[in-house]
Amino acid sequence: MSTNDPTKRIPSSIGTDTQLFGKYTLSDLAVGLFPGVVVILLAQVVVPPEASLAGISVQTLTLPFAGAGIAVGALFVYLTPTYTTSMDWIGTFLGFQRRETQHAHVETTEYTHLKRVYPDDGVLERTDGTLFGLVQVDPPSMALATTDQWRTQSRAFADFLDTVIEFPIQLYSTTRDFPVEEYLAHYEDRRTDPDVQANPQLEALIDEYVEWYRTDLEERRMTIRDHYVIVSVAPEEVQFERESLTQKVARIPVIGLLLRAWFAPRSAERHEAMLTALSGRLQRVEAGLREMDGCGAHQIDADDATQLLGEFWSGEPIEYGNLRSALRTRPVVGGKSE
């Protein structure tokens, strides 16, 4: 076989620029020099030659200002995250500043694919008709676990996936701020107790502890990590049994289309069947996770699931108050209006 066949060639790199030195490319060089070039062009084209600043000719200050601009550009390139390029980072920043922070319902569904919330059933519906629910996982503390304990837990999770999960799932992990004020509220309330007010040393000790704890958490930026299992049921999964002969025949292009239309259940019947199937899957996931040593699990209601979804898309905490009322009057996804 010839190795010169152009259809068999594999490029050594895709979507990368020529590297000048280290990880820096020609695009990074252009971004770094751009502020200095702008300063020079402004000084030569816009600023009059006789202009001065504090008695010093602007033409004399052009090179120092250009050097400062290049330094700013170089700092921007240096601070660019490793997962992107400096040019793309500029585009992302400008796009973020220009995009809308509020969207109408139809536009919002194009982003979130969320069509409807069923608070009474504890599930949500996507635009493609799929129903889904979330199971929150309370994992055991493995901070001081040994290698054997980690191996045991990994084996238990693998068994859970092999024996319990016979349907698609998604794993979602997120963080939230540690509730400092809620934690310290107990100590704040202790200040008004008679025994504390009668003991200046104890009162001073509580004050010092509260101040130290709040400062320590702010410096460490402590967060709490939450884990969720997303379980879903698609409409076609309840129309036929998965391995039935009818479903296999329904895959035939022409006959299958007619068969699906003939045997398709009514919307209400299909919805109830999907709710039943989803409830069974959620219960299986809960039970399977609880069988793991030290692991807890529980299904979150539709209000909490909607809150979680809204914060995921908005990128910031959202306070709706009574969420069931807010779902009818306010957008699920939004940000601070300009």
CA distance to 24, 239, 269, per residue, from 243 (Å): 55, 12, 21
* Reported pTM: 0.59
Same-domain pairing of 51 and 171: no
CB 315 within 8 A of CB 112: no
| Mean pLDDT along residues 83-107 | 79
Same-domain pairing of 66 and 186: no
* pLDDT for position 2: 46
The 10s digit of each residue's pLDDT in 186-243 is: 888 888 888 888 888 888 888 888 888 888 877 777 788 899 999 999 988 876 544 4
Domain count, the chain: 3
Same-domain pairing of 80 and 161: no
Residue 7 has pLDDT above 90, yes or no: no
pLDDT band, residue 27 (cuts 50/70/90) = confident
Same-domain pairing of 43 and 186: no
Tokens of 144: 């001081």
Number of Cβ within a 10 Å radius of residue 241: 10
Domain that holds residue 20: 13-98
Residue 4 lies in a domain: no
Q: Which of 165, 199, 221 represents a domain boundary (last residue)?
A: 221
Please provide the DSSP assignment of 61-73 as one string: HHHHHHHHHHHHH
Residue 6 lies in a domain: no
**Residue 179: closest CA among 222, 215, 150:** 222
Same-domain pairing of 126 and 28: no
Residue 256 lies in a domain: yes
Tokens of 56: 């010093």
Tokens of 276: 């039943």
CB 199 within 8 A of CB 193: no
Q: Strand runs (DSSP E) across 139-180, as ranges?
A: 169-177
The 10s digit of each residue's pLDDT in 289-307 is: 988 888 899 999 888 898 8
Any idea which residue has 């306070």 for tokens? 319
CB 222 within 8 A of CB 252: no
Residue 283 lies in a domain: yes
CB 73 within 8 A of CB 36: yes
Same-domain pairing of 170 and 319: yes
Same-domain pairing of 205 and 273: no
Residue 144 lies in a domain: yes
Same-domain pairing of 159 and 295: yes
Same-domain pairing of 21 and 126: no
Q: Which of 98, 116, 148 represents a domain boundary (last residue)?
A: 98
Same-domain pairing of 187 and 314: no
Number of Cβ within a 10 Å radius of residue 219: 8
| Mean pLDDT along residues 119-137 | 91
3-state secondary structure of 229: strand
Same-domain pairing of 240 and 152: yes
Residue 17 has pLDDT above 90, yes or no: no
Same-domain pairing of 33 and 133: no
Secondary structure string (H, E, C) spanning 303-324: HHHHHHHHHHHHCCCCCCCCHH
